[in-house]
């Protein structure tokens, strides 16, 4: 099913005001309903290598798989949706690829990347994330952070040591507890949500969420939602106006209409005319 007419996608990535390189990487395949964002880390340009590998490997492999398999089909082995199996396997594969590169090339030692990936199908979205790159949803007037960071701060908030307000002034920012390519195995957090026409989804690196408050991000999507490209530019600009201390990447996705997975030809034709 070609989703390029169901999803409107806009993205921006920017080096910011302080860092010498952009270690973020983004990719999207509108027809397959796939978007990927990675925020690399590691010395010299290794961060760029790690995030670039993550987005390239994942989009290439998943595109290939989605060509032949419907993500909403049930995987006979696990009894779960095939999308889940695909994401788990491909993320494991990507993790291994980055880990191998980091082990074999001294200049890449210690490199890694965060990941947030969304796959849209059958009026649903499956979101996988590792680290502190985030997934937000704007539905009606409500703007919510859907993913929970894998970071020291989030753990401290969960444990009741810090409130969200206090976390903003903590000295322990930017310490992630999970990343892709650091260890031989990684456990991504994967969830599935339903989508509705009119929803706007945001994937972003911490360069945005650390510099611009959720309230201001929500307000921007509310005000500029009619023009996604402009909204994406505005978010990057706001992060830069507030100091732009890190690379900033955003991907915005708007659901234009329903996209139920058709079983037979009749429903496919019905789907085209909706």
Partner 1 sequence: MAKLILSMDGLVLKEIPLSKDRTTIGRKPHNDIQIDNLAVSGEHAVIVTVLADSFLEDLGSTNGTFVNGKTVKKHFLQNNDVIELGKYKLKYLSDAIPGASKAADFEKTMVLRPGAMRKAPETPPPAAGAVEAAPAGMPATAGAPVADTARSHADTQVGVTAASVAAAAAAPTRRATLKLLSGANAGKELVLTKPLTTLGKPGVQVAVITRRPQGFFITHIEGAVKPIVNGSPIELQAHALNDRDVIELAGVKVEFFFKP
Whichever of 64 and 174 has its CB closer to partner 1, that residue is 174
CA separation for the pair 105, 81 (Å, rounded): 37
Residue 175 interacts with partner 1 (CB under 8 A): yes or no: yes
Whichever of 92 and 219 has its CB closer to partner 1, that residue is 219
Residues 12-31 that bind partner 1 (CB under 8 A): 18
Q: What angle do CA 258, 123, 227 make, to 5 degrees?
A: 60
Going residue by residue from 179 to 208, which x/- string records binding to partner 1, judged by CB under 8 A? x--xx----------------------x--
Residue 256 interacts with partner 1 (CB under 8 A): yes or no: no
Strands 189-194 and 200-204, how do they pair?
unpaired
Whichever of 80 and 168 has its CB closer to partner 1, that residue is 168
Distances (CA, A) of 66 to 90, 177, 212, 258: 12, 31, 35, 19
> If you search the block for the tokens 């010299």, which residue do you land on?
44
Residue 45 interacts with partner 1 (CB under 8 A): yes or no: no
> If you search the block for the tokens 């396997």, which residue do you land on?
89
Residue 39 interacts with partner 1 (CB under 8 A): yes or no: yes
Going residue by residue from 89 to 108, which x/- string records binding to partner 1, judged by CB under 8 A? --------------------
Residue by residue, DSSP assigns 247-271 as: -EEEEEEEE-S--PPPSSHHHHHHH
SS3 (DSSP) at 225: coil
Residues binding partner 1 (CB under 8 A)? 18, 39, 41, 112, 114, 131-132, 152, 155-156, 159-163, 165-166, 168-179, 182-183, 206, 210-213, 216, 219-220, 223-224, 226-227, 230, 234, 237-238, 241-243, 245-246
């Amino acid at each position: 099913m070609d989703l390029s007419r169901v999803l409107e996608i806009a993205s921006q990535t920017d080096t910011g005001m302080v860092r010498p390189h952009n270690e973020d990487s983004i990719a999207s395949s509108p027809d397959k309903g796939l978007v990927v964002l990675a925020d690399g880390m590691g010395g010299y340009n290794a961060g760029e290598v790690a995030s670039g590998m993550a987005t390239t490997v994942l989009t290439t492999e998943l595109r290939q798989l989605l060509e032949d398999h419907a993500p909403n089909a049930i995987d006979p082995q696990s009894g779960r949706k095939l999308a889940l199996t695909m994401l788990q396997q491909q993320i494991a594969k990507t993790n291994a690829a980055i880990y191998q590169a980091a082990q074999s090339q001294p200049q890449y030692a210690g490199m890694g990347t965060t990941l947030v990936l969304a796959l849209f199908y059958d009026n649903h979205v499956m979101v996988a994330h590792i680290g502190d790159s985030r997934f937000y949803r704007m539905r009606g007037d409500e703007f919510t952070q859907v993913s929970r960071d894998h970071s020291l701060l989030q753990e401290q908030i969960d444990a009741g040591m810090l409130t969200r307000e206090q976390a903003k002034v903590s000295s322990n920012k930017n310490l992630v507890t999970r990343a892709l390519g650091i260890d031989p195995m990684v456990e991504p957090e994967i969830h599935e949500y339903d989508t509705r026409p009119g929803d706007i989804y945001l994937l972003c690196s911490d360069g945005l969420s650390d510099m611009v408050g959720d309230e201001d991000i929500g307000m921007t999507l509310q005000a500029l939602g009619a023009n996604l490209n402009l909204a994406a530019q505005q978010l990057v600009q706001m992060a830069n106006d507030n100091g732009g201390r890190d690379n900033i990447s955003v991907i915005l996705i708007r659901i234009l209409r329903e996209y139920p997975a058709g079983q037979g030809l009749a429903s496919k034709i019905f789907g085209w005319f909706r």
